Structure 1
Amino acid sequence: MAGKLIVFLCVIVISQGVDIGSLKLDQVLILSRHNVRTPLMDTLEKYTPKQWPKWNDTSGMLTEKGALLEGYMGKYIYDWLDNEGFMEGCPEQKDVLIYANTKARTIDTAQAFVDSAFKNCNITVRHLDDLTVFDPIFFPIVHNTTEVFRNKISEEMTALIKKMNLTESYTELQKILQIQDADICKSLYLCDLNAAQTEVVLEVGEEPNVSGPLFIGNAIVDSFIMSYYEGMPLEDVAWGLINTTEQWELMAKISKENQNLRFNLTSGAKDIAGPLIKYMFNIFEDKSPKFSMLVGHDSNLNSVISALEFKPFELPEQFEPFPIGGKLVFQKFVDSTNQYLKIEYVYPSTNQLRNAEVLCLAHPPKRVVLELKGCKTDSNGFCLWSDFMKLNVY
């Protein structure tokens, strides 16, 4: 009876709103995407007769500007935590975990964050010793390899492909590319992205993927977006042919459809994100370390958000669904009687990225409060920590 009374009183508290003035920040876990990198595909020449801009590194590597931008974010995060009374000076090693996937861009992003957030402190970036393998915690693959499960995912992906409408996006993209004059048109007769078919590619031990126009379009748009963030002259960003917000939205729609088709799956997200979510909840259950940051990829953010069933949200001043350098910030607050969760998406706007704007408390990144379907939230974005922990089915 006493237990039921406590639960009832907690429900009343959260419905009436939490007394923010009495709260103390107790634990923070950040799931981060790496910062600005070189394009992932370095064989784009066949899709256009035009010359692509040159990058100073091989594909998929954090750029110098990406490291700079991550440093700005690191300093902002530390100043915010200091302002909350959560952290002061150099924290002890046991109170901080910075853990990155084995890709160079994630490790370098984590290091750039540490170098700025914990400058001159003895904080190290953790990762697997073997950098030739994708860390299983971050690897967004289908773990259940039974034929029945794989068929279920394949059927869902195929159904989503049929619902996709990228006609305007493909038309605009191939106009920018002049694809009718490209080698891909002359040799393989792929001259119209709208006439080609996107196909599901599901291989054991690999990420869910696609072939066809969505795969091609996503790789090309990725190059456009990264060159824009990198601050290249506008004539080197899609050859100066993306001049309006509407055009960027059309391009970004290709990226969004690619992400959601592969990782935002009703049938597969919980399986894909399972190891990462289990790792996160182990930290929550241990109540340690005090501050954690896990540095992965947009696929990690997407699958975790889908698996935990976040309510739909919008990220203003961004055209990426999971912005470069963006962070999903889980915050545990406590007062004298209870514990609460607040989740925010903290991310740089497109202008902050392109212009390399210094972030600080007076000029912060964008912050959007998110909600979970399984954790009733008050008007300030707080839900009961106990309700959140019930979402741990891993």
Structure 2
Amino acid sequence: MAGNIIALLCLVALCKAIDIDTLKLEQVLILSRHNVRTPLTAKLESYSSKVWPKWNASAGFLTEKGARLEGYMGKYIAEWLDSEDFIEGCPNEDEVLIYANTKRRTLDTAKAFAESAFQNCNLTVQHYENIEVFDPLFLPILHNTTEAFKNQVREEMENKLREMNLTEAYIELSKILNLRTSDICKKLYLCELHLRRDEIVLEDGEEPNVSGPLDIGNSIVDSFIMSYYEGMPTSEVAWGEIETDHQWNLISQICKENQNIRFNLTKGAKDIARPLVKYMFDIFKEGNPKFTLLVGHDSNMNSVIRAFDFKPFVLPEQFEPFPIGGKVVFQKWSDISGQYLKVEYVYPTTKQLRNGDRVTLLQPPKKVVLELNGCEISQSGYCPWTDFMKLNVYS
């Protein structure tokens, strides 16, 4: 009881101490997912005899619309920074870092952002020296490969699998696909997704994975979502079979559970995200660069958010748990009394993506304030910077 009272008094004191009108923005670090891309697999034809839509780029590449949408987001962030008198004109080389994973979609996303946010400034997108391999900073693998640790991770993943209930979603997806007429049904006798079991796959140097209906369903639903974002005619988005938000929310549960089981792990996430979180804390400790953009994947967003131990949150008006083009924006603010952290998830809604809407300060993307366990926020969303830095277990 006494502890609760003290916490409440501390929170009240913090609220009174912060006058948001006097705060100055000192540092921004953004962790971003790439923007709209083509589906990751080119083998979708085996899951339905229906004609799949054609894409103008190879599997897993940023689309032209994805680049345009990222440009809008870059311009919006630039408008926000300008409104806070954060950077005047083109920044110095040591003031801004834009760093992306080596995948084409992440590099192109970073480039589109940089060209719009810092127009005519000729900023270079930084990346790992060997562009042919996945950057170790972003690679979502288990770094602790001892059998004891892997068994702990496997046990948690198996528990999550047992708790998962996707029967209704699988039945709906099988109906959309008309799975019984597919090659995978005829040749491998996979005719009902909900009747097959998943298996955990943990291999050294590889992402934690699940083999079975969850992996198959995730690839299929992802392709539907990307075609929806891309703005394809409704007749080409899941062949016009998805007509309601209820259907979207239902089948998107497959993607949410895929992310939940593979990366939203109590111990595993801290290990998976260790290089990236350590890199972020190093930037926070240095206080430089002033602005950092790190462009990765939904697996990075998921594992980093879990590793930081954010409290549960909901992102309204989105199908995905970690939306395309979405950004976790870490902000360091100060006043005469001290320094503070504010974290917001800034992301486009499904409709903004579908419609190709330009986001601005007057027509912004969605924003949700995030709160860290161990760094209690004020009513306006700020927590003491010193409390935040105490959470660094990677030094």
Shift of 1:11: 6.4
Rounded to whole Å, the distance in 1 between the matches of 2:354 and 2:17 is 38
- In structure 1, the residue matched to 2:208 is 208
- In structure 1, the residue matched to 2:40 is 40
- In structure 1, the residue matched to 2:289 is 289
Asked if 1 retains the 8 angstrom alpha-carbon contact of 2:17 and 2:337, the reply is: no
Once structures 1 and 2 are overlaid, which stretch shifts more, 220-229 or 14-23?
A: 14-23
Aligned structure 1 segments of 4 or more residues deviating by more than 3 angstroms: 9-13
Matched, 1:272 2:242: no
TM-score by length of structure 2 reads 0.96
**Residue by residue, what CA displacement relative to the aligned partner does 1:295-326 show, whole Å, maximum 9, x if unpaired?**
00010010011111111111111110000000
Rounded to whole Å, the distance in 1 between the matches of 2:21 and 2:216 is 51
- In structure 2, the residue matched to 1:369 is 369
Asked if 2 retains the 8 angstrom alpha-carbon contact of 1:342 and 1:381, the reply is: yes
Rounded to whole Å, the distance in 1 between the matches of 2:11 and 2:359 is 37
Asked if 2 retains the 8 angstrom alpha-carbon contact of 1:17 and 1:380, the reply is: no
Rounded to whole Å, the distance in 2 between the matches of 1:335 and 1:259 is 39
Asked if 1 retains the 8 angstrom alpha-carbon contact of 2:11 and 2:378, the reply is: no
**Residue by residue, what CA displacement relative to the aligned partner does 1:215-246 show, whole Å, maximum 9, x if unpaired?**
00000000000000000000000000001010
**Residue by residue, what CA displacement relative to the aligned partner does 1:48-74 show, whole Å, maximum 9, x if unpaired?**
110100000110000000000000000
SS at match of 2:273: helix
Rounded to whole Å, the distance in 1 between the matches of 2:10 and 2:355 is 46
1:191-340 matches, within 5 Å, as 191-340=191-340
- In structure 1, the residue matched to 2:5 is none
Matched, 1:390 2:393: no
**Residue by residue, what CA displacement relative to the aligned partner does 1:251-295 show, whole Å, maximum 9, x if unpaired?**
110000000100000120100000000000000000000000000
- In structure 1, the residue matched to 2:142 is 142
SS at match of 2:262: helix
CA distance 1:385–1:189, change in 2 (3 Å)? same
- In structure 2, the residue matched to 1:119 is 119
Matched, 1:185 2:185: yes
- In structure 2, the residue matched to 1:27 is 27
Counterpart code for 1:231? G
Shift of 1:10: 7.5
Shift of 1:15: 4.8
Shift of 1:129: 2.3
SS at match of 1:225: helix
- In structure 2, the residue matched to 1:51 is 51
Q: Which runs of 5+ in 1 are unaligned?
A: 1-8
SS at match of 1:94: coil
- In structure 2, the residue matched to 1:79 is 79
Asked if 1 retains the 8 angstrom alpha-carbon contact of 2:96 and 2:291, the reply is: yes
SS at match of 1:30: strand
SS at match of 1:248: helix
Shift of 1:359: 1.0
Rounded to whole Å, the distance in 1 between the matches of 2:338 and 2:344 is 20
Rounded to whole Å, the distance in 2 between the matches of 1:223 and 1:53 is 10
Counterpart code for 2:391? L
- In structure 2, the residue matched to 1:3 is none
Asked if 1 retains the 8 angstrom alpha-carbon contact of 2:98 and 2:110, the reply is: yes
Rounded to whole Å, the distance in 2 between the matches of 1:13 and 1:120 is 45
Once structures 1 and 2 are overlaid, which stretch shifts more, 132-141 or 86-95?
A: 86-95
Asked if 2 retains the 8 angstrom alpha-carbon contact of 1:36 and 1:230, the reply is: yes
Shift of 1:87: 1.9
Asked if 2 retains the 8 angstrom alpha-carbon contact of 1:30 and 1:328, the reply is: yes
- In structure 2, the residue matched to 1:165 is 165
- In structure 2, the residue matched to 1:357 is 357
Asked if 2 retains the 8 angstrom alpha-carbon contact of 1:273 and 1:304, the reply is: yes
Asked if 2 retains the 8 angstrom alpha-carbon contact of 1:217 and 1:254, the reply is: yes
Shift of 1:337: 2.1
Shift of 1:12: 6.0
**Residue by residue, what CA displacement relative to the aligned partner does 1:128-161 show, whole Å, maximum 9, x if unpaired?**
1211111111101000000000011011101110
**Residue by residue, what CA displacement relative to the aligned partner does 1:194-235 show, whole Å, maximum 9, x if unpaired?**
110011011100000010000000000000000000000000
- In structure 1, the residue matched to 2:88 is 88
Asked if 1 retains the 8 angstrom alpha-carbon contact of 2:315 and 2:368, the reply is: yes
Counterpart code for 2:114? V
- In structure 2, the residue matched to 1:109 is 109
TM-score by length of structure 1 reads 0.97
- In structure 2, the residue matched to 1:99 is 99
Rounded to whole Å, the distance in 1 between the matches of 2:321 and 2:33 is 12
Counting aligned pairs with the same residue, the percent is 66
Counterpart code for 2:82? D
Q: Which runs of 5+ in 2 are unaligned?
A: 1-8
Rounded to whole Å, the distance in 2 between the matches of 1:59 and 1:322 is 20
Shift of 1:17: 5.6
Asked if 2 retains the 8 angstrom alpha-carbon contact of 1:17 and 1:379, the reply is: no
Counterpart code for 2:21? G
Rounded to whole Å, the distance in 1 between the matches of 2:136 and 2:349 is 30
SS at match of 1:29: strand
Rounded to whole Å, the distance in 1 between the matches of 2:311 and 2:11 is 20
Rounded to whole Å, the distance in 2 between the matches of 1:191 and 1:124 is 49
SS at match of 1:332: strand
Rounded to whole Å, the distance in 2 between the matches of 1:36 and 1:129 is 25
